[in-house]
Structure 1
Amino acid sequence: MVAFRELTVSALLALTGAAGGFTGREGPSTPDAASIDIAVSGVERSAGRVVVAICTPDSFTRETCPFRASAPATRGTTQVTVAGVPPGTYAAQAYWDANGNGKADRNFAGLPTELVGFSRNHKVGMSRPRFEGSAFTHSAKGSALAITLRTIP
């Protein structure tokens, strides 16, 4: 159980940018790259920022997702657009930086105290989120996603 919990905590720490991730940098763009528009719901008040990262299988739940963007939080639903994403299969992860300190705050156990969510509204339980549960196909015409933010159990 301890090893399982450590795996879950480390995955969530990576998701929330504990080592400086979600800084707003974007990956390389290609001529057929297009935007991904994400409606992030569950934002409790208009404070801080909502941060979204678009990830490859190797970067999902890590701080190395190649495409990311943020927007000022709007109570209810916040729109975030990640520009310049080449066509492919990705998964999105999001969090609400409620206090605007540029990171996802954590409790004494290392779990995020701010809300997080994944594409396809993949729910986080007692195991690390899987890329396959959040994966979507992005085309050169662009994509639209909806993510609901939740507390980590």
Structure 2
Amino acid sequence: MQTLDKPSLFVAAAVLGVAAASASAATVEVRVSSVVAGRGKVNVAVCDKERFLKDCLYSGSVPAQATDVVVTIQNVPKGTWAVLAYQDENQNDKLDRNLIGIPSENYGFSRDARGKFGPPDFSDAAIDVGDESTVAKIKLR
């Protein structure tokens, strides 16, 4: 029986780890509508419940070139996630707000979730991500 040396074991473990991670991760295709063409970029984040509206684990952006854009987020693990998007017109990488805290840039959430006096709850925007590619539609408001 042949035994592997430590470097070979490390490489084998790394290959198996990458294969396992990619097998349990999927792509989330975020289709954002009502984008104002030519004004900055559209930022998208895919968040778990713990990081919802904070520092989300998965994100991406595309230039605001048309009324509808698609942002593809890869390697999202299976589970329940919420997706948010906003049009960053001045490209400062944050959702700008007015003096009383109301967003001054267009934004939206998966499942068209809306809050009454603030952002929606995670459960209102939650989508399930499985092994296959998942589509999340968001209309900016």
TM-score by shorter chain over 0.5? yes
Of the structure 1 ranges 82-91 and 41-50, higher mean CA displacement relative to structure 2 is found in 41-50
CA distance in 1: counterparts of 2:96 and 2:117, whole angstroms: 19
Alignment equivalent of 1:44, drawn from 22, 36, 42: 36
Q: Which residue of 1 aligns with 2:7?
A: none
Output the TM-score relative to the length of structure 2: 0.79
- Paired AA for residue 21 in structure 2: T
Q: Conserved in 2, the CA contact under 8 Å of 1:119 and 1:135?
A: yes
Unmatched tracts of structure 1, length 5 or more: 1-28
Matched, 1:69 2:60: yes
CA distance in 2: counterparts of 1:93 and 1:102, whole angstroms: 14
CA deviation after TM superposition for structure 1 residue 108, in Å: 1.6
The structure with the largest helix share of the pair is 2
- Residues 91-115 of structure 1: per-residue CA shift (max 9 Å, x gap): 1111110122322222122222101
- Count residues with an aligned counterpart: 121
CA deviation after TM superposition for structure 1 residue 59, in Å: 1.0
Q: Which residue of 2 aligns with 1:59?
A: 51
Alignment equivalent of 1:35, drawn from 27, 40, 57: 27
CA deviation after TM superposition for structure 1 residue 132, in Å: 0.9
- Paired AA for residue 125 in structure 2: S
CA distance in 1: counterparts of 2:107 and 2:21, whole angstroms: 29
CA distance in 2: counterparts of 1:95 and 1:128, whole angstroms: 13
- Paired AA for residue 141 in structure 1: E
- Any idea what SS the aligned residue of 2:34 has? strand
- Residues 69-91 of structure 1: per-residue CA shift (max 9 Å, x gap): 11111231111011110111101
CA distance in 1: counterparts of 2:82 and 2:105, whole angstroms: 20
Identity of aligned residues (%): 36
Matched, 1:84 2:75: yes
CA deviation after TM superposition for structure 1 residue 149, in Å: 0.8
Matched, 1:124 2:115: yes
Q: Conserved in 2, the CA contact under 8 Å of 1:61 and 1:129?
A: no
Max Rg structure: 2
Output the TM-score relative to the length of structure 1: 0.73
- Any idea what SS the aligned residue of 1:30 has? helix
